[in-house]
A and B are shown apart, each in its own frame.
Chain A
C-alpha cells in the first residue's frame, strides 16, 4: 500500500524522532511510504487563531504535495482533524488519516513486534478523541472503546495507566498556550499531577503538541517523567 507521510511542521523541526518512528513503523507494516519533500503545515495555527482566510497558500501547498495519494497519514490528531474539517479539497479531506486510526481501521493491525516495559500514562488529546473519535468520550453515554489502548495492548510489557479525569484537556490549545498562558499552564500542571499520582514513567499520546506542552512543564518542574508519542512505543524494539 502506497502511503504519503504527512509530517506536521513542528514535528519536522522539533520532534523528528516522531516522524522517524512513523516512517519506520509504516514500512515495517508493509507500506510503501513516500515523504513529499515540499510539505510544510496543515494551516491550523492560523485558522484556529481566526485567520482561516490567510491559509490559502498553505492549503495549496498541501494539495500540491499530497493530492496524488489515496492515503495521507500523519502522527498528529489535531493537524489531521483540521485537514478533515477545513481543507478546501474534498480529495484531501477524504484521504487523510491520523496514524493510529490508519493502523486500526485501514491496516487492521492485530500484532506488533514491539516491546516497552514501562508504566505509561495515557493522554487523550481532545482533537484525536473528540474530533477523530479515536476513543469513546466520558461525556457521552456510549460503549467504551479506545484505538490507542488497542494498539498499546499489542506492545509487550506496557502497563497503561489512566489519569483520574480520563479525557480532560491538557491546555495546549494552539496559540491558546501563549495568549492564555496562565490557564494553559494550570491545565497542564493539573494533568501532570494526575499522571504523577499514578507513578508513570512516560506520558503517551497521539498528539505531539499536547506532549510538547506537558514536556515543557515537566522539565521546568525537574520531573523525571518523560513524554513519548505513541508511535515511538509501537515502533520500539
Chain B
C-alpha cells in the first residue's frame, strides 16, 4: 500500500486534474460557506450540536439501551456487533434466511469500514450499490474517494466510458443528465426486484427508537420501502437523545455537506411497514476504545458531512484514494489509526495542521488537535519511518544546548550550498533560503 505522500505525488503528477479536483471541492466549500453564513445563529448551532453530542457520549450506554428497548417495542430487530466480522455475519444470516442472491444497498460508510460487499460476494451474494456515485465506483472496482461525493475523483468522460462498458450507453456520451437517466433505469430494475435492502443510518433517536436516513437521490427509500427485509447498519455513536435534537443536526448536516438547506429526503423509520421485517445492527468496531480515550472521544461526534474534506487543502490536492481508507480526509486521518495504527501511521501526518477542518466541523471536533495527538501516540508506538527517530533526537539534543546550536547553525549556513541536491526534498522544486554571513545573535553581540 503506497503511503499518503507517495499516492499524492502520483495524483499531483496530473496537474490539470489536480487543479480541477481542487477547484470542484473548493466550490463545495464555498456553497457551504454561503449556506452557513445566512444563519446568524450558525456558530451557536454548532456549539449546541457539540454539547448534545458531549451529553450523548457521556451517557451512551443508557441511550443505546433506551433505543434498543423502544426499537424492539416498535417491532424492529436489534443486533449488536463487537467488530466488523460479527457485523458481517449478522447481516449475512439475515440475508441467507431470506434466500436472496442480489440485494440493494444505499450509502453506508460503516459497511465500507466492514468490507461488507466483499464478504457477501464471497458468500455468493451480490450487493448493488444504489447511490449514483457509489454505483459508478463499484462498476470500476474502486473505493469511494469521498464520503458524500463518492466519485468526485472522476471526470464525466470516465463515467461515460464506465457506463458504456457496464450499461451499454453509447460510447463517447458523457452528458451527466443522460448518464444519470441511464443509471435511474438500470437501478429501478434492481429496486423493484430486491427482497433485501441495506441502508446506513444518519441518526438514531433513543427517545423514540426510530432512525433517520438522509439522501438526495431517494435511493435509500426506494430500496427500503420496496424490500421485504430492511437492514439498517449503524455505528453506536449515531445515537441522539431526543427527536427535537434532530432539528439542530438536520440544519447543520446538509448546509455543511453540500451547502443545501436540507437533504432532499430525511426519512424517519419508526416501525416496519406492514408485513416488512426491519433490522438494525449496532456496531462497535473500536468505537468504545475511542470513547474511553479523552483525547479522541470527540471524534465520535462526527455526523459524516465531509465539510472537513472539502476545506482541506491537502485532501483537495491529493484525492481520497491517497488516504487508503474508506473515510478519507482529516476526519478519516483521526479515525483510521484507532482501527489500525501501523497501517495508518502516515495519515495524521498528511496535514499541515492548518486548522480549517476544525473550523468547518458542524459538531466542533478538534480535528487538527487530534491529528497532533495521534502523531505523538504513533511515534511513541515506534511507528516512525526509518531515520526519523534518530534525526529528531539529534535535533532535540542540538536545540537543547545553545553552544552546540550555535556551532551547528554556523556550519549549516556555511555549507548550505551542499543541500542543493535532488536528495533534499526541499530542493526538488524550491530554492534553499540564502544563507546570511552572520546570524542575528552574532550581529546582536557586535551591535
Contacts and interface: CB of A to CB of B under 8 A. Distances in A.
A23 B356 CA distance: 32
B426 interface: yes
B343 interface: no
Nearest to A23: B444
Given A54-B393, A141-B40, A180-B4, A216 B352 contact: no
A4 B318 CA distance: 42
Given A51-B379, A176-B351, A14 B314 contact: no
B317 A187 contact: yes
Contact of B380 (A53, A167, A180): A53
B5 A181 contact: yes
Contact of A9 (B36, B376, B405): B405
Interface residues of B, number: 74
Interface string B360-389: 100000000000100110111000100011
A179 interface: yes
B18 interface: yes
Given A50-B378, A180-B350, A130 B355 contact: yes
Interface string B1-21: 000110011001001001000
B429 interface: yes
Interface string A40-64: 1101011111111111111011000
A35 B444 contact: yes
A69 interface: no
B352 A186 contact: no
Contacts of B5: 179-183
Nearest to A86: B372
Contacts of A186: 12, 15, 18, 317
B397 to A, nearest CB: 7
Contact of A213 (B40, B405, B430): B430
Interface string B394-412: 0111111110010001001
A38 B401 CA distance: 8
A138 B356 CA distance: 9
A232 interface: no
Contact of B430 (A58, A141, A168, A185): A185
B426 A216 contact: yes
A181 B349 CA distance: 12
Contact of B313 (A14, A23, A187): A187
A130 B356 contact: yes
B441 A7 contact: yes
Contacts of B426: 177-178, 181, 216
A36 B354 CA distance: 30
Contacts of B18: 186
Interface string B311-333: 10110011000000000000000
A14 B354 contact: no
Interface majority SS on B: helix, strand, loop or mixed?
helix
Contacts of B269: none
A142 B43 contact: yes
A46 B349 contact: no
Size class of the A contact interface (CB-based, 8 Å): 35 or more
Contact of B356 (A7, A126, A178): A126
A54 B39 CA distance: 45
A66 to B, nearest CB: 13
Contact of A130 (B15, B43, B359): B359
A220 interface: yes
B22 A190 contact: yes
B42 interface: yes
Nearest to A17: B436
A104 B429 CA distance: 37
B33 A139 contact: yes
B353 interface: yes
A40 B402 contact: yes
Contact of B433 (A7, A52, A54, A216): A216
B399 A61 contact: yes
Interface in A83-132: 126-127, 130-131
Contacts of B375: 48-50
Contacts of A178: 424-426
Nearest to A15: B433
A16 interface: yes
Contacts of B431: 215-216, 219-220
A48 B398 CA distance: 17
Contacts of A130: 354-356, 359
Contact of A139 (B22, B318, B360, B445): B360
Contacts of B350: 180, 183
A158 B444 CA distance: 29
B188 interface: no
B192 interface: no
Given A13-B412, A20-B440, A182 B8 contact: yes
Contact of B436 (A16, A50, A61): A16
Contacts of A219: 430-431
Given A16-B439, A126-B356, 19 more contacts: A7-B441, A9-B405, A12-B409, A12-B441, A14-B436, A46-B399, A49-B375, A57-B401, A126-B353, A168-B356, A169-B354, A174-B352, A179-B5, A180-B4, A185-B428, A186-B18, A186-B317, A219-B430, A220-B430
22 contacts: A9-B409, A13-B439, A16-B436, A16-B439, A37-B445, A40-B405, A43-B396, A51-B396, A126-B354, A137-B359, A139-B33, A139-B356, A141-B39, A141-B42, A173-B351, A180-B5, A181-B426, A182-B12, A190-B317, A216-B426, A216-B430, A219-B430
Interface of B: 4-5, 8-9, 12, 15, 18, 22, 26, 33, 36-37, 39-40, 42-43, 311, 313-314, 317-318, 348-356, 359-360, 372, 375-376, 378-380, 384, 388-389, 392-393, 395-402, 405, 409, 412-413, 424-426, 428-436, 438-441, 443-445
Closest A-B pairs by Cβ, 3 of them: A57-B400, A173-B352, A216-B430
